[in-house]
Each structure stands twice: as C-alpha cells, then as structure tokens.
Structure 1
Amino acid sequence: MTSLFTQEIHLSKRHDEIVSQRLILLQQMEDKLGGQNKEKASQMQAAETAFKRNLSLLKDIEAAEKSLQTRIHPLPRPEVVSLETLYWASVEEYIPKWEQFLLGRAPYPIGVENQNEAENTIQKEAQR
C-alpha cells in the first residue's frame, strides 16, 4: 500500500512538473506570437510608409518630366496649331484619292496635266 501511495505521490509530482512545463511552453509560444505580430505590424507600417514615399517620388518625377517637356517642346503658337489642323484635315480628305491612285485603281488625283509627270516619276522609281 505504501508502494502505491509512493507511486501516487511520484506521479502527482510528475504531473505537476508536466503541467508546469506546459504552462512555460504556452507562455513562450504566446510571447513569440506576440513578437511576430509586432514585427509583422512594424513591417506593414514600413511597407505603407515606403509606398507613400514612392508615390510621392513618382509624382515629383512626373511633375519634373512635364516641366522639362514644356521647356524642350514649348507649346506652338495658335496660328501654327490652326495651320496644322487645316493641313491634317486636307491630308485626311485626299487620302482615299491618293490611296486608290497608288494602288493602281484610279487616275492621278490632282489633274490630267500632271498625270504624265507622275507616271514618269513612278516609272523612274520602279527602274531604280
């Protein structure tokens, strides 16, 4: 009976040791998890700060690029813009006529008197 009682005491002490070790391990795990959470939060804050900084730098670079572009290529005067607009409208108007001529489906689009000159030019170009 004393042997059983001694065993019971020994097992009870062993149980207390195991429970104590378990509590220590649980506390260590909680501390480690808390540290990881703090580190993750710190990394997230650093990433957010870096993102904001990069966005600000990008805006500054774009503003500098725009400033340099206006210095290198200043905006043309309104008269020039008007002439360019008229020129491109004229080009767009004549494209279908010239396209058919260049494909060989229509006569020279400007006038009959220039057609011979155009054909001679085309033949000279073809011979080269």
Structure 2
Amino acid sequence: MTSLIAQEIRLSKRHEEIISQRLMLLQQMQNKLEGQNKEKVSQIQAAEVAFERNRSLLKDIEAAERSLKTRIHPLLPPEVVSLETLYWASVEECIPKWEQFLLGKSPYPIVAVNQNEAENQNETESAVQKEAQR
C-alpha cells in the first residue's frame, strides 16, 4: 500500500511538472505569435510607406519628363508644322512605290522620279525655246 501511495505521489508530481511545462510552452507560443503579429503589422506599414514613396517618386519623374519634353520640343511655328505635314503626306504618297520595290515587283522608284524630272525639265526648256522663237 505504501508503494501505491508513493507511486501516486510520484505521478502527481510528474503531472504537475508536465502541466507546468505545458503552461510555459503555451506562454512561449503566445509570445511568439504576438511577436509575429507585430512584425507583420510593421511590415505592412513599411510596405504602405514604400508604396506611397514610390508613387510620389513616379509623379516626380513624370513631371520631370513633361518638363524636359517641353524644353526639348518647344511648340513649333505654324510654318514648320505645315511643312512637316506636307513632308509626311509626300512620304505616305511614296510608300506604295517603295513597297513594290522592296517586294521586288518594280524598279528603283527614285530613277522614275529623276526621269520624270528630266522629262519635265526638257518640256519646260522646249516651251521656253518655242516662246523665244515667236
């Protein structure tokens, strides 16, 4: 009987030790969880601050880009704009000729232009000579 009481006392002490260790582990887990939650909140706040900083930097870069574009490309005079428009219209007009040449379906287009200019110049010279003879 004494051995049963001694064994009961030992088991009771062991039970108290296990309960004590369990409470200590639960407290450690709770502390660790709180620390992780604080760290997560801190990281979220840091990410929000970084996001706002990046947005501000992006706005500054866009403003600087607009400023540089206006300095590099100031508004052109109307005459220049008109010439530019005429230039691009002539380029678009010549695209089909060059496209055919690049596809190998027609001769070099500049030769035809030079021949046309030469023909126009010959016609002009002929007309001037006829006027001079009259």
**TM-score when normalising by structure 1:** 0.76
Q: CA deviation at 1:110?
A: 5.8
Tell me: CA distance 1:98–1:13, structure 2 relative to 1, closer, same or farther (3 Å).
closer
Q: AA paired with 2:25?
A: L
Bigger mean CA offset, 21-30 vs 67-76: 67-76
**How far apart are 1:101 and its partner, in Å?**
5.9
Q: What amino acid is aligned across from residue 112 of structure 2 in structure 1?
A: Y
Kindly report structure 1 stretches of 4+ aligned residues shifted beyond 6 Å: none
Unaligned runs of 5+ in 1: 116-128
Gaps of 5+ in 2: 120-134
Change (3 A) 1:15 1:8: same
Aligned letter for 2:20? Answer: S
Which amino acid in structure 1 is aligned with residue 106 of structure 2?
R
**Corresponding residue pairs, total:** 115
Structure 2 equivalent of residue 75 of structure 1: 75
User: Which deviates further from its counterpart, 100-109 or 7-16?
Assistant: 100-109
Please name the residue that 1:119 is paired with: none
Amino acid at match of 2:80: V
Structure 1 counterpart of 2:118 = 114
Structure 1 or 2, whichever has the larger Rg, is 2
Partner residue, 1:19: 19
Q: Answer 1 or 2: which has greater helix percent.
A: 2
Amino acid at match of 1:53: R
Identity score, percent: 73
Match of 1:123 in 2: none
**TM-score under structure 2 normalisation?**
0.73
Equivalent residue runs for 1:1-128 within 5 Å: 1-100=1-100, 105-106=106-107, 108-109=112-113, 111-112=115-116, 114=118
